[in-house]
Structure 1
């Protein structure tokens, strides 16, 4: 980006100056609409994803016995975290009106992160497409037959590739190898060693890059284009990934209803989603907004070194601006969020859907990590803790948003939902190292 253009942007969007200094900020999306619409995606695609996942439930029960109890459904619980609420209120001297809930995607079956939604769905969708086209499978069949040697041999002819900082690669590697595919995961320098090791243990090929996430994705995309039997799962542009994530919104609606939690004018729902390139939080946000309209308020959480979605939405430039363009280094302990350039597709959809974005420091991530373990016996990986600061940022810096949308009087009846995006697969040694680091800040 040329210096004169950069100077103009900083003048036009003063918060860029704060972001460039790695300040913890809340950016309010003034394009937010109570009932937005987009031409880029439809709820029909979400319904189709939900039906596809249902067809695969019999296969998933055979392939992953841990899904027997949920009847082949890959889903996580919601739970109230009152002790964590008290701990974070005390640490930051803020009283959070309403209740604080956790969406436990850190404990999702198979791959232990939110990526078990979109990533696994796209692998299943691709497998179904190939099997149907070959005549080996019909939609009316019991999909448990996909666990047979015949289908394993069939899928071995094909390759699935992906670029990832970690969790998406894990979900695709585990699911792809289980079906029989060859899997190639292009991993950026931010990816944790244990995630690479686990993928190799599952039989996936891991290609490592010294560069960041965007380079890993681009290289993966280019290599896949050379092989007609290779399907590239494009984290930056995939509608299948987006649809898989969006199914979570329909499931959450059922969970809230079952626990008698209302979402309406008098009972607003605030949702805080850690954000990397944007696919996971974008899909969830799209589904929730389509379901709840003006009564849900969604904020994306990003590291101070990697606020790619914030600057993309703020400037309207989306993938045409990177965090490096404003002088940031994209280096953070939150590996899943270490993305320098946001998805253009997701950014364009989110323009009128989300209420805003906020940033968190690595120090805050580890402070929260320690508080959650101490108060709730709850372990999440650092990136998942970005969601814990949503209510804090909103109450400290979002007064104008709350007043403008007549929310102040309804806050005592509000539900604050932190989307816990990953953590259950972190190995014991890494978990101990994270907790030791958290002790430095508590």
Structure 2
């Protein structure tokens, strides 16, 4: 490996970006600056690296993937998922009271599992197995997969504060959290989050509803309608011209300067991860109701759009706890933002960004526009994810229009990234000698139901022109 260097001054870190030096404070990590020799070495060691750097779609199979009985330990266990589900259950009365859209599920935040046969018949008639869409675009409150992790972390923080203050016990009726006294109590605390859009939306909505002072630090990729909706819901929105890394760094610094501030750190959050992982328990129930078996003869393939890696990583962790080696999870990233792919393939994890490889991190898939992966999530996904593929923006738009035409389901561009996952896996299936005739394929739809009609019309028309 070629030489690399870093610059660090106490709590101040200088990160080289081209000819520029950017200072980030209060985050004691080493930002490594790789020279051309190091990049050349990686291109030699990782055959697909040239294609990644040239923005060509690729498939990477994880050489570190392990069977569950081969994994000595992970930072979290299956028992942690069960504890997270209990917190969701405690807050169900509060959520049902504050958000009428959760009445049908009695305060639980969950989405349907829908078989998309029309899409399959028209566009994927040669695929083996059944194709389903996990409709997290329809999750109540926040309209995206981030409702799982974001809302969970804020609820967990609110519960901890209330427990420490003696305001509640875990066997109480959590309708208490709807009272004026509780909202007055939380008003003395602040919450911050850096976001490309959807995570900020989930954090902003639930935090404001509980009574927190909430600030959302939005990157340049965030859509205007998401900023407008956040402000309408009572969140303070701060906009940045840089990408996700700039927004999260600024948010972390400013939030932690407040003694009563709490920062939801998408790059390093165990609680976000746990919130996502509970989806596996819910999916198990849905598959059971659909009479879908998951075992060696009936493999389950799940395709997850990936940004910083927290939501797909958390869901993968949960699925592996539930279904073991019979589930095979693949992440999907934009060709312009393959942060988790580069982190895992180089073994540098969160110490590298896509910009280190000359990749611009500019994509229409705003929820996936992340240059540096999550430290916490990537370390766990390293042993669990089967592979990662990249996809071009124009393909996301095409899939958006195709799904709308065949199933009358409307997603954000980023949320369509998992729909063609079944087309990517042939080398993996061959390597692992997997029979697909009885396979179940699930594309995880991550956002879209709250997109304004005029914006969705623009997305759809663009996709139709590309088909």
Q: TM-score, normalised by structure 1?
A: 0.96
Distance of 1:195 and 1:319 partners within structure 2 = 27
Equivalent residue in structure 2 for 1:24, among 54, 57, 77: 57
Report what 1:428 is aligned to. Answer: 453
2:10 maps to none
CA distance in 1, matches of 2:149, 2:283: 15
Question: Alignment partner of 1:266: what SS?
Answer: coil
Report the counterpart of residue 64 of structure 1 in structure 2.
Answer: 99
1:181 offset after TM fit, Å?
0.6
Of residues 382-391 and 66-75 in structure 1, the stretch that sits farther from structure 2 once superposed is 66-75
Q: Which residue of 1 aligns with 2:75?
A: 40
**Aligned with 1:418: secondary structure?**
strand
Structure 2 unaligned regions, length at least 5: 1-33
Instruction: Say which structure is richer in strand.
Output: 2
Between the aligned partners of 1:428 and 1:234, the Cα distance in structure 2 is 31
- Asked if 2 retains the 8 angstrom alpha-carbon contact of 1:306 and 1:331, the reply is yes
CA–CA distance in 1 between the matches of 2:430 and 2:452? 44
Matches within 5 A, 1:224-243: 224-243=255-274
**TM-superposed deviation, 1:258:** 1.1
- Map Cα deviations across residues 347-390 of structure 1 (whole Å, 9 max, x no partner): 11111101000000001001101100111111000000101120
What stretches of structure 1 of length at least 5 have no aligned partner? none
Q: Does 1:381 align with 2:408?
A: no
8 Å Cα contact 1:118-1:242 kept in structure 2: yes
Correspondence for 1:209 among 220, 240, 245: 240
Q: Equivalent residue for 1:223? A: 254
Match of 1:265 among 288, 296, 307: 296
1:350-389 to structure 2, matched below 5 A, reads 350-389=381-420
Equivalent position of 2:88 in the other structure: 53
Equivalences for residues 15-414 of structure 1 within 5 A: 15-35=48-68, 37=71, 38-89=73-124, 95-394=126-425, 398-399=426-427, 401-407=428-434, 410-414=435-439
Secondary structure of the 1:388 match is coil
Q: Deviations over 1:261-315 (max 9, x none)?
A: 0000000000000000000000000000111111111000000000111111111
Farther-moved stretch of structure 1 (126-135 vs 318-327): 318-327
Measured after TM superposition, the shift of residue 403 of structure 1 is 2.0
- Bigger helix fraction: 1
Q: Which residue of 1 aligns with 2:27?
A: none
1:41 and 1:69 mapped to 2: Cα distance? Answer: 32
Deviation for aligned residue 1:328 = 1.0
Higher relative contact order (CA 8 A, sep 6+): 1
Aligned length: 432
Q: Does 1:438 align with 2:440?
A: no
Deviation of 1:46 after TM superposition, in Å, equals 1.3
Q: Cα offset for 1:182?
A: 0.6
* In structure 1, distance between residues paired with 2:142 and 2:382: 30
Alignment partners' CA distance in 2, 1:273 and 1:291: 17
Picking from 39, 49, 55, the partner of 1:6 is 39
Deviation at 1:333, TM superposition (A): 0.5
Per the TM alignment, residue 19 of structure 1 is displaced from its structure 2 partner at its CA by 0.7
Q: Secondary structure at the match of 1:426?
A: coil
